Chains A and B, each alone.
Chain A
């Protein structure tokens, strides 16, 4: 792939990240008196002054505070949490990262495989019963907020049928005999939230792929392929899919921002101890350092994911490489 394309995309990504850091700073420091106003509301003036100088809040915003901020961010120091006294932001967030990564990562993976296949099949065999039912279903799912899907699954499969637990990541108060047992318990708790994320995404991806394939079917090169006497399967595999998946890649990347919204709410429904529930906790406590940290984390993740998607797109579509 052209190194120019690669370089261009990487530079764009870095630029965006830089802006994110700037935005983050602006949000929390520019807003009048956020840190000390919230925290030290009840302290006498002298104590507040001391806190402010300790936090460096009495120095001018630009350039001193900003440079200090960037410096500490790059060093991985995102400050100390307000709520979780004594723990650093990095610490607090770090604890909650891997449950979210597993939930979200697996969910995306399943959704991509199942959703794109369903959509492709649906679009190819347009009009069949699979198409109508599948499309109708997907349309409804597309309109449902993720947490609604979660609540429904919870009440049906956990409360109602009792097949799965209603909350948490591990069963409370249980001593595990072995690692496989721990994994099994984890999986049992993961099932419903994972199903929720996957189902929500599958709805979107299948609609997307379906319309992409339908668009492809009207292209001239598909008529050429049929004129060549190729079998339907081969036309789908060699001609339709390689072209139809291109907008899918782009849209999956763009969609990531919205999926995050969904993931946060799903965690709330199932009390899954990840970034989502942390966000809500921090929000209610006005724990701005943690919120800042989450903002940077999520934004940078989305940017990096978009970068990866761009690179994948470059591999799949030779036209952009020039």
Chain B
């Protein structure tokens, strides 16, 4: 596990100096690398329209690594595929903009958009056994974009493919191998080599390490880190594994049911999660340094996106739900430390302390602020139910201040899976 050295944030002008290929003619030299604004993607199914991505915005700066986290089906992969319009035919980008170097990709025609694929943004899929053509040698697959997109000769492309393989740690003789002849880890490396072929600005990794065992996972992450610093790549890493994001990324974007729950620098979000969903997510992950305790479970299941819940989409499962949560979509507000949250606990003008939740929402729930509670320790639970939240919050805050994180009582299992938070 290597330390993440922060890469200097630069503008497109600096990128132009470092890159092998010139920027697109329409590029705006002062714009950030990638700006996604209010992206909405809908799927047309027989049974209805699925609002898979519903108002997602974020910015990726040059050299940055952004992690997109969330449960399965929350829209993270759809967002990534939407950037290059690689969605299946029944999906449509209904609104929003995707600005790469300041150029909006959404209104572009298919053939105009094709220019940007792989040359500016490339993809590494999970489970590379299916993502690689099983009847074609991997060397040919790596060389293919060089020949077809960059117009190189077959000989040059083959040579370059060999170089790329060595770059990711595969001996270049293996270029003649077929995907099924390689191990899982090597296939993933081959996919990474392929993604780098046209020297893109951004590489998107969709669960790049999910199917691999832990040792290989660490190697792949280390490889990505090395490539990032050597080549000045920007990364978007999509995963449900928060530890991967913590290790590799600068910023994290937590998605839930097609919307953003929380977004910001990794240290800020993980140390001090504000959105209840983020807190639950972090609580669901075991920390090897903390006391042994039962894992927290988020009761309920992700919503059916054909008929998503009104207002905040998380409210049916939220332990701190209030009346307004079921009526209004929470606005996004940004705090001073760069963290952005969309939750009614933090109305516009909030300073970071959550709004007190009315008493009926208490009992068995955890409270929201976890000041100074250490990196991955879960938010502590209160003792017996009853009493109103203000007193609860105060009491626990006092206890933390007094005793320190190690003495925070561990989560008990009073939140059993069958009892939803609304049942008091």
Contact = CB atoms under 8 A, between A and B. Distances in A.
A317 B135 CA distance: 6
A238 B133 CA distance: 9
Contacts of B181: 322
Contacts of A224: 123, 125, 131-133
Interface stretch (B144-152, B346-354, B358-366): B144-152
Contacts of B178: 318-319
Interface in B270-320: none
A123 to B, nearest CB: 13
A230 B144 contact: yes
Contacts, number: 75
Contact of B125 (A220, A239, A246): A220
Contact of A234 (B117, B122, B134, B148): B148
Contacts of A86: none
Given A224-B125, A228-B145, A230-B148, A318 B117 contact: no
Given A223-B81, A229-B149, 12 more contacts: A220-B125, A221-B131, A221-B132, A221-B134, A227-B123, A228-B145, A230-B145, A238-B133, A239-B133, A243-B133, A246-B135, A317-B135
Interface string A222-244: 01111111110010001100110
Contact of B135 (A226, A228, A231, A242): A242
A219 B117 CA distance: 19
A8 B133 CA distance: 27
Contacts of B65: none
B99 interface: no
A229 B136 CA distance: 18
Nearest to B132: A221
A242 B133 CA distance: 9
A316 to B, nearest CB: 7
Given A234-B148, A318-B178, A319-B178, A229 B130 contact: no
B67 to A, nearest CB: 20
A72 B98 CA distance: 79
B114 interface: yes
Interface residues of A, number: 23
Nearest to A127: B89
Interface string A290-322: 000000000000000000000000001111001
B84 interface: yes
B259 interface: no
Contact of A228 (B81, B127, B149): B149
Given A220-B127, A319-B178, A229 B145 contact: yes
B385 to A, nearest CB: 48
A226 B117 CA distance: 8
Given A220-B127, A228-B118, A229-B115, A243 B135 contact: yes
Nearest to A232: B110
Contacts of A238: 133, 136, 144
B86 A227 contact: yes
B365 to A, nearest CB: 41
Contacts of B136: 238-239, 242
A229 B114 contact: yes
Contact of B180 (A226, A227, A228, A319): A319
B84 A228 contact: no
B133 A223 contact: no
A317 B178 CA distance: 10
15 contacts: A219-B130, A220-B127, A220-B131, A223-B86, A223-B125, A224-B132, A225-B133, A227-B122, A228-B122, A229-B114, A229-B119, A230-B145, A230-B148, A230-B149, A318-B135
Nearest to B131: A220
Which of A220, A242, A322 has the most chain B CB atoms inside 10 A of its CB?
A220
Given A224-B123, A234-B148, A318-B178, A229 B117 contact: yes
Nearest to B178: A318
Nearest to B117: A229
Contacts of B84: 227
- What 10 A-B pairs have minimum CB-CB distances, sorted nearest first? A229-B117, A220-B130, A220-B131, A221-B133, A228-B118, A229-B114, A318-B178, A228-B145, A229-B118, A227-B123
Nearest to B123: A227
Contacts of A239: 133, 136
A228 B86 contact: no
A145 B131 CA distance: 41
Contacts of A228: 117-118, 122, 144-145, 148-149
Nearest to B140: A238
A278 B319 CA distance: 83
A125 to B, nearest CB: 12
Nearest to A234: B148
Contacts of B149: 228-230
Nearest to B177: A318
Contacts of A225: 133
Contacts of B134: 221, 243, 317-319
A312 to B, nearest CB: 13
Contacts of A226: 86, 117
